[in-house]
Chains A and B, each alone.
Chain A
Amino acid sequence: MDVVTAIFEFFENASKESFLKFWNTVPFQDSAFWKTFWDSLWTREGAMNLLSYTFWVFLVICAFFYYLFPKKIKPVWLLVCSYAFYLYDRSGLQMVTLLIGTTAITYFSAIAISRLKQVWARRAFLLLSVCTSGGILFYYKYANFLSQTWADLWGAFGITLKASVIDLPVVLGLSFFTFQSLGYVIDVYQKVIPAERNPIYYALYVSFFPCITSGPIERAGHLLPQFKNPKPFNYNKVVGGLYRILWGVFKKMVLAGNMDLFTREIFTHMEKYPGWLLGAAALVFSYQLYLDFSGYCDIAIGAGKALGFDLLENFNRPFAGRSYTQLWDRWHISLTSWFRDYIFTPLSFYNRGLTGTLGKLQGWFNVFIIFPISGLWHGDNFGYIVWGVLNGLFMVVGKATAKKRRKWAKKNPLYRSKFLQAVVQCSFVYLLFTICIVFFAASYYGQTAADGLYLFTHLFSTQGNGDLIALFCQKLELSSLTLRVLVIGSLFVELMEMWGKPDVVIRKLWMPARWIIYYALILSLLLFANFGASGFVYGTY
């Protein structure tokens, strides 16, 4: 018997009496009930989770007053809300000091850069910002990692050094707000945008709550004008935003959450399972990561829309990319474009004089170097660095062989059918991406880069009993219905997103169809969501 039958049977056996008993017993009319409910929302244990009632109530309150207040008060109110969001975590006092410090230094540096004429002085302030933001990021993310690596290095030569571990708190959104503020200062330095004089707007730009936890990494040129010219209440946009939140929650909790049960088990017990199951877990993790992170971005973008703002889109169906370059143009767009604009472009500019083989090599190096840096940005684990290095290599090889591959493609009989060509290319790109993601997954599940390597060396192993029924039904408690929901849900997500952005598409639908989708998503959430997996993969960066 499955979940659907359980629900049907409930309605079959339901009676007016049982409903009245429920209605009259539950103390809805008692103010103490609602007070307790209200109190339960603000327990302040850990950061505010975007998947909690707390966040949704917080968003409603924030949006309600935002639309109510006059134009001049709006940014102040949003800033108050953003800091309240940040300070929701009881241990947020140290974290908020870092946020305020980064905001203040980059704000004044940008103003100084815009006013000063001497190149050296402008550079000095740019350097100050880079060192401050980069220093904070470096210290809080890599101090312990470096200390440990240093000790390990000496250990390899037989010299025992004790790694000094500093008790550092996990700073909420550190990787995101430092990049955002750094991007702004560089833009001002390059005269792409003028320096923002109003500290309220700038502080709001750095701390805007929908995107501070895990992005998208906003650009000042995109967000600041929206703060300055807030749009009036737009019913369609707000409802679209709320639907986008629901869409993201569905992707995260129903699809990624259940996939997480499977991949977590395999990645943390690799020695127990046969090679083909390890491979399957790696393939699933690629898609799980996409659903998890893009689900989070949907929630952030939806929250932004509910407040009348358009945040940057972070994903554009990456696995529909036909080449590795295309995949990276569609994956974590805000970070990729950040690296492109602030690392790749300046590097290319400074090396523009190089020609011939040297120029080519330098170009490849510029492409390559972004990825190990991106790996480091993700976390203090060698797995992420290996992930970055592999991605960089694939990108360089892809660029180096592009012309030849295009030539061969013309002769490839498989490519006579456009559809077949698309399938082959997308599958190949997905496979390459998965090869890299194995190290990412190993790091995410608390394993080492060596564990990632273990997976490849044991891909053809027949160890473990491979009893799928025992694994799925007993250990993971994933019913066949849940697996069907996963497959159908994933196809549904791909089809809907192929059609356009979820919040736009839904408004195009005929009202009954729209409501069928609302109900289907909410009911599948209630019945199939993995409520244990409420943390986001990118929430840890």
Chain B
Amino acid sequence: MKDRHTVSSRKKPSKRVKKRIPSSVKRFLNFVCKWTVITINTVIKIALLLPIPIFLLWYSFTIDRNGWFQGDQYEREVALAMLDGSAISNFEKMDERQITKLYAQNLSESVDVISLGSSRVLQLTKDIVGTESFFNAGMVGAEQPDVMSSYYLFDRVDKLPETVIFCVDPWIFSTAPEATAHQRVDWQMYNEFLHYGLGKDVDVSLPEENMALWLSLTSPAFFQENVEYYIKNKESGMRPSVVTDDIYNQLTDIKMPDGSILYQVNFRNLPPEDTYHLALTAINNSFVNCEGFFEMDAGMIQLFDEFIQYMQQKGSKVVLMLTPYHPVVYEKVLEQPERYSGFFQVESWLRNYALENDLALYGSYDPLAVGCTEEDFFDGWHVKGDGISKFFPGISNVESYSSLAEGVTLHRLP
């Protein structure tokens, strides 16, 4: 094309038209006009799209399946019903921190044993523990502040338990962003605990605003959960309700009177191969709360130690428990020792700590070490009650760590 053009231009020399170069003022005005039009156009388009994100946020805020934004109108009903010995459905919307607080406040007398931890301890029932006087204060998605505040909830109403089964999740020693997202933390309560419980200089009158919680409103997945929640619970008015028929045949999760969770029947009866795939998908996605956890944080270790001492000073006997992960999860984590270096430090450190402080410690993060198989899990993170029974002999048989040291061999640490 270029050659052809050159040839033709030689044959017919065109008249040279002198191009008038626009003045710099004119060019500037052109530039301003062009960009003004583009900016106005863009602003109009953004304004036209804006109703969608606003609707997304408004809907999630209003339906609020986890009960994070709409206050505690139902939590009291749930706490009282549990104290009354009832199992509750539709409790997901409730604020578990609030329920535990109200439960503790309304206790007529102290319970003998409580358990602390995340959802990974919520399968611990009074039958496994071996006492009628038991309350599982585990919370879904519990982080370090939640765990410590939940013991304080019993302290502040002077209903301290004789024994605390503290299910230690590895991420409570992490300061990685995922482990400290603080989505559901009750900061006011935590600050109170730090101030009155541990004697730290914390201003209890000014709880921090939990911004991470608000961020969940921007999640399309959370929006979908809210739509599903609305559809599922429309008939029951999205209120918590006491389960009157067969509790073991419910299609929703049940909060038992002892605080433990009875998962919905379909989830409980998943065949092991489905559980395996669930676990595999989950670990391929991420190792919950342990991503970016490269080293145990010295501050968190200090806080953990102070917390244990605080419970002991208050007269509670402390039993540590480590609930295992699904075998495929643990295998996958073992394959990446650098990525999960912090995680691998936790168990050895805890065992030493238990030994030095003469604490009883049961379980292991490694399912093989405690004899748990794939059949003992609901998914990648949650062990079944039968699985817990394999390594926890019940509260009446609890002994100090030294006598259990031989029971668990951590031969699979990298």
Contacts and interface: CB of A to CB of B under 8 A. Distances in A.
B223 A36 contact: no
A235 B38 contact: yes
Chain B interface main SS type: helix
Chain A interface main SS type: helix
A445 to B, nearest CB: 9
Contacts of A2: 231
A27 B286 contact: no
Interface in B65-102: 69
Contacts of A27: 209, 211, 214
B206 interface: no
B61 A32 contact: no
Interface residues of A, number: 49
Contact of B59 (A10, A475, A532): A10
A26 B211 contact: no
A349 interface: no
B234 interface: yes
Interface stretch (A40-48, A69-77, A178-186, A329-337): A40-48
B63 to A, nearest CB: 8
Interface in B24-82: 38, 41, 45, 48-49, 52, 56-59, 61-63, 69
Contacts of A235: 38, 41
Contacts of A446: 280
Given A22-B62, A45-B292, A529-B220, A37 B215 contact: yes
Contacts of B307: none
B230 interface: yes
A14 B54 CA distance: 14
B177 A39 contact: yes
Given A526-B220, A531-B224, A32 B209 contact: yes
Interface in B108-147: none
A26 B62 contact: no
Interface size class of B (residues with CB under 8 A): 35 or more
A474 to B, nearest CB: 7
Interface string A1-28: 1110011011000100011001001110
A32 B211 contact: yes
Contacts of A268: 273, 277
Contacts of A37: 215, 218
A95 interface: no
Interface in A295-315: none
Interface string B274-309: 100100110000100001100000000000000000
Interface in A83-107: 90-91
Interface string B223-267: 110010011001000000000000000000000000000000010
A3 B41 CA distance: 33
Contacts of B277: 268
B335 A1 contact: no
Nearest to A525: B220
Contacts, number: 98
A167 B335 contact: yes
A32 B212 CA distance: 10
Contact of B215 (A36, A44, A91): A36
A512 to B, nearest CB: 11
B217 interface: yes
B178 interface: yes
A470 to B, nearest CB: 10
Nearest to B57: A26
A474 B266 contact: yes
A40 B291 contact: no
A25 B69 contact: yes
Contacts of B273: 268-269
Interface in A225-251: 233, 235, 239
A458 B292 CA distance: 45
Contacts of B227: 3, 6-7, 527
Contacts of A3: 227, 231
13 contacts: A10-B59, A10-B63, A19-B58, A26-B61, A26-B214, A30-B211, A36-B211, A37-B215, A43-B292, A446-B280, A526-B224, A527-B224, A531-B221
Interface of B: 38, 41, 45, 48-49, 52, 56-59, 61-63, 69, 177-178, 209, 211-212, 214-215, 217-218, 220-221, 223-224, 227, 230-231, 234, 266, 273-274, 277, 280-281, 286, 291-292, 335, 338-339
Given A32-B211, A43-B177, A43-B292, 15 more contacts: A3-B231, A6-B230, A7-B59, A26-B57, A26-B61, A27-B211, A27-B214, A32-B209, A36-B214, A46-B286, A268-B273, A269-B274, A522-B49, A522-B52, A526-B224
